[in-house]
Amino acid sequence: MANIDASAQSVREINQAIRHGIGRKEAVIVQNPGARHNLGVALLEVGEVRIAGSVGYYCGGLSDGASIEIEGSAGWGLAESMLSGTVRVHGNAGSGAAAALRGGTVVIHGDAAARLGVSLKGGTVLVGGNCGYMAGFMAQKGTLVVCGDAGEAFADSMYATECYVGGKVTNLGTDAVLATMDPGDVVRLEEMLAAYLPPALRKTKPRAVDFKKVVSGRKLWNFDKRAWKIWQEAL
Amino acid sequence: MPELQASGIFAARVIEDIQSKADSGLYAIRGFGTLRERRWATFDDLTFLPCSLTRIPLEGYREKCSTKTVLGKRFAKKPIELDIPVMITGMSWGALSYNAKVALAKGAAAVGSSNTTGDGGMLKAERENSRTLIYEVLPSRYGINIHDMRIADAIELTIGQGAKPGTGGLLLGSKVSDRIAEQRDLPIGVDQRSPARHPDFLGPDDMIIKVEELREATDWQVPIFIKMGASRVYDDVKLAVKAGADVVVVDGMEGGTGASPAIFQEHTGIPTLAAVCEARAALQDSGVYGEVQLIIAGGIRDGVDAAKAMALGADACYIGTASLIALNCNKPIYEEDYRAIGAAPYACHHCHTGRCPVGITTQDRELMKRLDIEEGAERVRNFLRTMTLEIQMLARSCGKSDVHHLEPEDMAALTLEASAICNLPLAGTRKVFGR
Amino acid sequence: MCGIVGYFDKTTANQTAVGERLLKMLEALACRGPDSAGVAMFGSLPPRHLVAQVKLGDSDNLAERAQLVTELAKEFGGEEFSRADAYLRFLFKEVDNLKPFLSKIESAGHDVEVVSVGRRLEIVKEVGSPGRLEKAFQVSKFQGKYGIGHTRLSTESVVDLSHSQPFWGHGYADLAIVHNGHITNYHQLRRIYEQRGVRFYTENDSEIVATFLADKLRQGKDLEAALHSMIIELDGSFSCLVATDKAFGFVKDPFSFKPLLFAETDQFVAVATEEVALRGAIPGNYSAREAQAREVKVWQT
């Protein structure tokens, strides 16, 4: 096991120590993270990292394969552009959590702030609590699950991402529509909830069948074409 | 008998535009860049003052005039070293065909220059065929991949581009082919509109943290560029410097695009000439002139424009539109195909249609065949080489053995505006106007 | 664009080293705001007195200016004068209308500015780092119950003392604000206020937040209502912390453009742009969360 004390080291040194530990196939623990930025950025090997406290911006960003567990809260851009791996936050997450995620899983036990899963390109994002303004904005692929309430302008301008909300949807974003959950959706969602939420937390959340499904209405997918002639120089 | 008089304000083009909007309720989208007549100061408003009695010129064809260009000396372990100060700017595979992207990469590599990826991420063939490759991180983050970033020679964090500052990208459905859709994680055939803002930072204060992330992700090895469309250039360049940029890229109003609303191309951003002057002033006032490099883009047409931009303070220039024209954009061949999309050679800006007659801005495999990669690469190589010769000729005539020694004082202004903007005397007066 | 911080000690102890807290919080944010630093702290004074912090000018030789302002201040019962850097601090007799006082003091020179007046409020701000602020003003020694602070990354206006934050709601005792973001209808609003005779001291858009809130408070709105008005009437990006002699609160714009986190326990409320400022200054087991779009929260102090 690699025990790293972040308090006396630069971010660069901390990250080098994390990568070193993973390279030696050790479980890594980072103490005293102090909510600093850019911890665990670009971790490209399979490995386990535990952070005993809060992190700042971009924890787990640009990573591929690592498992990161954050005992405190996270700042902006959690796991941004991650290709694969798992990032879990026990506390809350700031804005842009899972921004441009391409694969893997991001789990937030508490609340997420604005723009959760913005530009989502794949993977799974699961929030135990509530999410803020414009979650799922321009999301393209993948799955977004919010067990609590969704803030304003939910799922605005999406492409093919599927969203599930356990609580209230304050209001739907542009071109977002409620869709019926079919039995396959319910099974899939129940599996996700069971797989990613700790059992004690899972018990306090709604049943899968009580979630609402939100997808794109597809009206913004193409500009309104009336005729080729107009289409030449118009939208 | 007097001629019929047409309105200067409600000209034929304006009448057509209003009626088209009345028909469809839609605004015009097209490619290319600013089309309206230049009535603002451009590089054409400056002229070089070569040596005569007061200074001694170098022999035009014989004496050494170095064009070696180093970018990213400020913080990076491995700055970029180029043989020439002209580079290919980021243009997306999506807006451009595969053949075009590869031809550009090969052509640039052949003269020791660099290529840049573009919206949608890196093509394998691009990395294989580029000598130096710059990876663009755009607001859309289409195709973003850490492994591609780590095999690039520089990271360019793009806030916006000169053709359409303040807005996001656009790729119309006919160009969102199966391969493009897969690269970008989109459904096939959608009219892709991408975000105007980055998803994980909003403001220069957050950007400081983002730049650090990009350095961490690339082991602090490669230069970080910050690219902006020319808007509030002075303020923006100062902020990019504070955020830790190794290189600042400013893209002027005359820059090109594959598709965007026409009003953005015509009426947003400041001209490239004005932008380079503001950018240099910002670098000087920030105390990093010479330490942070400046790349200028936006309608650079030849070695003359590049030399003037460099004299005004740029360390290098990006070309976009000019490199596509070198690849046969707007060439008088396949003329009936130009007509079919409502254009003509020398008057085609229809990149957005996806039906480029010469195979550059299309995803149609048949049309793309019209652009032969090797032939295209040679054309790009020739053009870049000629641009470099032009820059050298002008530099030698001004007595410089290194193109980077060109200074503003090697030029005079031909108009009042250029005098005021560039802080250069108006030819014939020995006075600087407007300050 | 910048870093903002705020700290409110809820315990009944009247005086806390709030200056030291704020300083530590600011140091953690200095990277995102390298241009200037400032704090607005709320302590306690002898009753029926006000404290003024006056910027004596922009030049280096201010001794003569200090003498002149001292004489002018004596006309208002000025006493306990002290000089630090470009500032003159003194107490004077409480008045209802600050206009005559401000007019008199600022008549001493075109670059003289009353930086703050309050029953409890004192603002000190300066170009440079929090470290430099501490060196000049011993912020860490300030005893009080709550305060707000700011580290600045200048965007469109100049870097100097006056353009730094916090901003005082000029003319309205005890109102201080710090703002992260950019008010995009600043010029328009400024012209409306100028038409009404309001004077602006800088070209910094953040100043209008102070002017706007002072206007709402004068109209009789309470702080919470005034902060809600910001959401409706100000455009652009803002995460703001505001404090008066009776309250302390924050507001976030409808787009949630700029970060703002807070933590609350029985002992304290702490607000900052980044959690790193909380963890660096306040030990203990507490959790923080990001404020949501349009969120307004006010605590009575």
Other beta carbons within 10 angstroms of residue C103's beta carbon come to 10
Q: Do A55 and A159 share a structural domain?
A: no
3-state secondary structure of B257: strand
Q: Check whether C63 has a pLDDT greater than 90.
A: yes
Interchain pair B203, C237: CB under 8 A = yes
Report whether C38 contacts C164 (CB < 8 A): yes
Q: According to the model, what pLDDT value does residue A234 have? A: 29
Return the residue in A119, A156, A216 with the most chain B beta carbons within 10 A, the one to mutate for interface testing.
A119
Q: What angle do CA B179, B184, B185 make, to 5 degrees?
A: 95
Q: Among A11, A32, A66, where does a domain finish?
A: A66
Q: What number of other Cβ atoms are within 10 A of residue C234's Cβ?
A: 23
Residue among A75, A92, A133 minimizing CB distance to C274:
A75
Task: Indicate the DSSP class of residue C135.
Answer: H
> Within 13 Å of residue B228, how many CA atoms lie on the same side as its CB?
25
What is residue C14's predicted lDDT score, i.e. its pLDDT? Answer: 66
CB B195 within 8 Å of CB B139 = yes
Query: Residue ranges per domain, chain B?
Result: 33-327+371-422
Subunits adjacent to chain B (3 or more Cβ pairs under 8 Å):
A, C
Extended beta strands in C24-65, E state: 36-42, 49-55
Ranges of each domain in chain C: 2-44+124-300, 45-119
Query: Is a pLDDT exceeding 50 seen at residue A227?
Result: no
Write out pLDDT tens, residues B329-366: 999 999 999 999 999 999 999 999 999 999 999 999 99
What does the pLDDT read at residue A168?
A: 97
Q: How does pLDDT run across B315-335, given as a tens digit for each residue?
A: 999 999 999 999 999 999 999
pTM recorded for the entire structure:
0.92
Residue entry with tokens 């600011």: C26
Q: How far is Cα A86 from Cα A81, in angstroms, rounded to an integer? A: 12
Q: What are the pLDDT digits (tens) for A54-104?
A: 999 999 999 999 999 999 999 999 999 999 999 999 999 999 999 999 999
> Nearest to residue B175, comparing CAs of B72, B258, B55, B260?
B258
Residue among A96, A160, A235 minimizing CB distance to B199 = A96
**Region A162-190 average pLDDT:** 96
Of chain C residues 268-287, which have a CB less than 8 A from chain A?
Answer: 274-276, 278-280, 287
Binary contact (C258, B202; C-beta < 8 A): yes
- What are the two backbone dihedrals, phi and then psi, of residue A13, each rounded to the nearest 5 degrees? -65, -40
pLDDT for position A75: 97
> Which residue segment(s) compose the domain that A47 sits in?
1-66
SS3 track for chain A = CEEEEHHHCCHHHHHHHHHHHHHCCCCEEEECCCCCCCCCCCCCCCEEEEEECCCCCCCCCCCEEEEEEECCCECCCCCCCCCEEEEEECCCECCCCCCCCCCCEEEECCCECCCCCCCCEEEEEEECCCECCCCCCCCCEEEEEECCCECCCECCCCCCCEEEECCCECCECCCEEEECCCHHHHHHHHHHHHHHCCHHHHHCCCCHHHCEEEEECCCCCCCCCCCHHHHHHEC
pLDDT given at position C60: 82
User: In chain A, what residues touch C31 (CB-CB under 8 Å)?
Assistant: none
For residue range C166-183, what is the model confidence (pLDDT) as tens digits?
999 999 999 999 999 999
Cα C76 to Cα B301, C90, C98: the distances in Å are 69, 11, 11
Among A17, A51, A66, which residue terminates a domain? Answer: A66
Q: Tokens 């019209």: give the residue.
A: B370
Q: Does C261 touch chain A (CB under 8 A)?
A: yes
C-chain residues near A53 (CB < 8 A): 279
> In sequence order, what are the residues at sequence separation of 6 or more whose Cβ sits closer than 8 angstroms to the Cβ of residue B299?
B33, B34, B42, B162, B252, B253, B254, B255, B256, B272, B305, B321
Residues A106 and A212 grouped into a single domain: yes
Per-residue pLDDT at A229:
45
Give the residue from A116, A133, A170 with the most C CB atoms within 10 Å of its CB, the best one to mutate. Answer: A133
Class for domain C45-119, per CATH? alpha beta
Residue B369 amino acid letter:
K
Averaged pLDDT, C42-51:
92
Cα(C26)–Cα(C85) distance, rounded to whole angstroms? 20
Would A80 be classed as within a structural domain?
Answer: no
Nearest to A76 among C255, C259, C288 (CB): C259
H/E stretch holding B237: helix B233-242
What value, to the nearest 5°, has the Cα angle with vertex B194 and ends B191 and B196?
145
Predicted local distance difference test score (pLDDT) of residue B371:
98
* Chain A residues touching residue C279 (CB < 8 angstroms): 34-35, 53-54
Please, which residues bridge with residue B90 across strands? B116
Contact C153 B239 (CB under 8 A): yes
Which residues of C carry out catalysis? 2
User: Which residues between 236 and 255 in chain B have a beta carbon less than 8 angstroms from any beta carbon of chain C?
Assistant: 239, 242
Below-70 pLDDT ranges, chain B? none
Encode pLDDT of B230-260 as tens digits.
999 999 999 999 999 999 999 999 999 999 9
What stretches of B243-372 show up as alpha helix (H) in DSSP?
262-267, 272-285, 303-311, 321-326, 335-340, 365-368
A217 located within any domain: yes
- Residue A233, pLDDT above cutoff 90: no
CATH number given to C2-44+124-300: 3.60.20.10
Which tokens in the block code for residue C140?
Answer: 């860490």
Among B200, B201, B205, B228, the strongest candidate for a mutation testing the C interface, having the largest count of C CBs within 10 A, is B205
Task: Give pLDDT, residue B339.
Answer: 96
Is the pLDDT score of C32 beyond 90?
A: no
Instruction: Mark yes or no for CB contact A233/B145 under 8 Å.
Output: no
Query: Could you say which of A66, A81, A111 is where a domain stops?
Result: A66
Whether C275 and A133 lie within 8 Å, measured CB to CB? no
**B310 vs C44, higher pLDDT:** B310
The CATH superfamily holding the domain B33-327+371-422 is Aldolase class I (3.20.20.70)
Q: How far is C133 from chain B (nearest CA, A)?
A: 20
Whole-number mean pLDDT of chain C? 95
Say yes or no: C181 contacts chain B, CB-CB below 8 A. Answer: yes
Q: What is the pLDDT of residue C55?
A: 97
What ipTM was estimated for this complex? 0.92
Domains C2-44+124-300 and C45-119 share a fold: no
A228 has a pLDDT exceeding 50: no
pLDDT tens column, C87-124: 999 999 999 999 999 999 999 999 999 999 999 999 99
Rounded-to-integer distance, Cα B23 and Cα B19, Å: 6
Q: Does B63 touch chain C (CB under 8 A)?
A: no
In-domain check, residue A82? no
Torsion over CA: B125, B126, B131, B134 (sign): negative
